Amino acid sequence: MKAHLSTKTYVSCPNCGKGEHLVSHLFDERLPRAFGPWYCKHCGQSFSGTVKSETDIDLKLNYEQSVKHAVLLMLPPRDKPLYFVIAGNEIRRPDKSPMTEDDWRFRYESHQCPTNFIPVECIIDDGDTDPHGVFEFVRAVEWVDEPNNGASVDENDSHYAKLFPEIEA
């Protein structure tokens, strides 16, 4: 099987020279085409630009700067569990049996840092900044359809309650 090849073009930040900001998705018949404001992930500088052709792109610096902060949030102690639904996956092979409940439990309670599957900067439990096992594995079911596929909030609620009846109070 031959691979389908694609080439992408990026511009660097005009302020710090770093970063890869994709522009090739803007290449079409409707050139010139303006884009931005975009914010550099390295220095936070805002810039805009105009694609005149695939090899001729103008950039200009804007006044705005994005200043990164660390924000501490706290979930106060509570009586009831707070549930999280995350997307997981199982690699299946015809010659291997499916993952057992213990395999899933090991994956989410012992094996990895909780920030791998709850993607935040840091999760801190009683001073421990890498609290393996802070989340309890409840159950994994095969993902049947996209819960956010145009569904209203109410429909999503019932979607998850059907998958996981234990989340109902």
Q: Which residues are near Zn ion by CB under 5 A?
A: 13, 15-16, 40, 42-43, 45
Q: For Zn ion, give the closer residue by CB, 38 or 108.
A: 38
Element (H, E) at 105: helix 101-106
131 upstream amide cis, omega within 30 of 0: no
In angstroms, what is the minimal distance from the CB of 57 to Zn ion? Answer: 16
In angstroms, what is the minimal distance from the CB of 44 to Zn ion? Answer: 7
Q: For Zn ion, give the closer residue by CB, 13 or 140.
A: 13
40 in Cβ contact with 16 (< 8 Å) = yes
- What is the number of other CB atoms lying within 10 angstroms of the CB of residue 39? 19
In angstroms, what is the minimal distance from the CB of 21 to Zn ion? Answer: 9
- What is the number of other CB atoms lying within 10 angstroms of the CB of residue 156? 13
Q: For Zn ion, give the closer residue by CB, 41 or 111.
A: 41
In angstroms, what is the minimal distance from the CB of 13 to Zn ion? Answer: 3
Q: For Zn ion, give the closer residue by CB, 20 or 56.
A: 20
Q: Which residue has the tokens 């995350």?
A: 86
